[in-house]
């Protein structure tokens, strides 16, 4: 999809204004993934205007310092991640420093600066794209991470913008528990965590937030929701490849309970995903358990999406 400048402003500015009004943050971090949209070649021309209008918006008038890092170099297959990291500092916040990874020292943050296109030469961050063999199904993946380090009143911390791999097919995801895609995400996230606590720099606290693409355990969910159902397999006539699974109730006139395709998960009772914010499904939210000694996640209070 193509994202226009107006669409970006309509989407982001009201949310930013609401956050500022409700929480009055002194330090605000905004991590974006797929910046410019999936049709980035056509949409990237809108990004610079959007950033300037965001920085000059009424909601941000009390934030006199900012750092913006945009990976816009879509012509570089080796490095492009489409990540965007925004950091806004309130005028009341004194003595804040950002780490220079090349010089290995902190520098006082003043003014507003925007870095775009090629971020590899920017010493104030670490950026890396995951190796292609992490997700060989994609001819050109944009998944990776950007890391910055900050110090406020002698309290140092890392902020990591991350984009992990998605599930390419529901039909493959439900075959094993955990899914093959879950294993790919574990490998990539483990790589990032190893990088940010390695011996090159002093260890500090870290916050990792972005698009993890975590999924409920598809096999366990399907087997629970369709425990008493029978399964029908639909194959393509020319390749014999499985293209659809249909789960029907054993009685009740063989009513269709679930239809599963590569990009479709159509369960007949959507209330199970909405009731009490989908709390009943949290037992299938297992991907982070592998990192329970390395990452802490706040309670989830929203339904699966």
Asked whether the predicted pLDDT for residue 167 surpasses 90, the reply is yes
Whether 10 shows a pLDDT value over 80: the answer reads no
Residues contacting 93, CB < 8 A, separation 6+: 26, 27, 152
Residues 27 and 87 sit within 8 Å (Cβ to Cβ): yes
Q: State the pLDDT confidence band at 181, using cuts at 50, 70 and 90.
A: very high
Instruction: For residues 274-296, give the mean pLDDT.
Output: 92
pLDDT of residue 207: 98
Of residues 12 and 23, the one with the higher pLDDT is: 23
**Residue, of 117 and 93, whose pLDDT is higher:** 93
Nearest C-alpha neighbor of 74 from the set 120, 127, 142: 142
Q: What is the pLDDT of residue 118?
A: 75
pLDDT tens digits for range 183-234: 999 999 999 999 999 999 999 999 999 999 999 999 999 999 999 999 999 9
163 band by pLDDT with thresholds 50, 70 and 90 = very high
pLDDT digits (tens, 9 = 90+) for 15-34: 788 888 889 999 999 999 98
pLDDT of residue 7: 52
pLDDT band at 5 (very low <50, low <70, confident <90, very high): very low
Strands 112-115 and 65-70: parallel
Of the candidates 37, 207, 71, 69, the residue with the CA atom closest to the CA atom of residue 144: 71
Beta carbons of 189 and 162 less than 8 angstroms apart: yes
pLDDT attached to residue 18: 86
Rounded distance, CA 72 to CA 120, Å? 12
Q: What is the distance of C-alpha 304 from the center of its chain? A: 15
pLDDT at position 227: 94
Average pLDDT rounded to a whole number, residues 261-266: 97
Q: List the chain domain ranges.
A: 5-163
E strands in the chain = 27-32, 65-70, 84-89, 96-100, 105-108, 112-115, 126-129, 144-152, 155-163, 205-211, 229-235, 242-249, 256-261, 264-267
Q: Kindly tell me the burial class for residue 61, based on how many C-beta atoms sit within 10 Å of its own C-beta (0-12, 13-18, 19 or more).
A: exposed
Q: Using a pLDDT cut of 90, give the percent of the chain over it.
A: 70
Residue count of the chain, please give it: 305
- pLDDT of the residue at 2: 38
| pLDDT value for 4 | 45
Q: For the whole model, what pTM was predicted?
A: 0.91
Q: How far apart are CA 63 and CA 204, in angstroms?
A: 26
Contact 260, 252 (CB under 8 A): no
Largest CA distance in the chain: 71
């Amino acid at each position: 999809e193509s994202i226009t400048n107006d669409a970006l402003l309509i989407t982001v500015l009201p949310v930013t204004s609401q956050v500022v009004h409700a929480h009055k943050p002194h330090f605000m971090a905004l991590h974006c993934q797929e910046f410019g949209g999936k049709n980035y070649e056509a949409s990237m021309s809108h990004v610079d205007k959007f950033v300037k209008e965001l920085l000059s918006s009424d909601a941000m008038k009390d934030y006199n310092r900012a750092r913006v890092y945009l990976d816009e170099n879509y012509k570089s297959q080796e490095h492009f991640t489409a990540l965007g990291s925004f950091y806004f500092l309130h005028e009341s916040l004194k003595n804040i420093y950002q780490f220079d990874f090349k010089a290995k020292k902190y520098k006082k943050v003043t003014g507003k600066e925007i870095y775009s296109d090629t971020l590899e030469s920017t010493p104030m961050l670490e950026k890396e794209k995951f190796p292609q063999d992490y997700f060989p199904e994609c001819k050109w993946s944009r998944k990776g991470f950007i890391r910055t380090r900050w110090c406020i009143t002698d309290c140092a911390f890392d902020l990591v913008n991350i984009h992990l791999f998605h599930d390419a097919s529901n039909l493959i995801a439900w075959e094993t528990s955990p899914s093959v895609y879950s294993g790919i995400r574990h490998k990539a996230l483990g790589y990032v965590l190893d990088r940010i606590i390695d011996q090159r720099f002093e260890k500090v606290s870290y916050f990792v937030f972005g698009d993890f693409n975590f999924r409920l355990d598809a096999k366990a969910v399907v087997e629970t929701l369709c425990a008493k159902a029978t399964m029908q397999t639909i194959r393509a006539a020319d390749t014999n490849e499985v293209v659809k699974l249909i789960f029907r109730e054993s009685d009740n006139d063989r009513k269709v309970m679930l239809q599963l395709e590569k990009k479709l998960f159509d369960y007949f009772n959507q209330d199970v995903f909405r009731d009490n914010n989908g709390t009943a499904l949290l037992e299938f939210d297992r991907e982070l358990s592998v990192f329970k000694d390395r990452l802490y996640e706040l309670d989830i209070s929203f339904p699966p999406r």
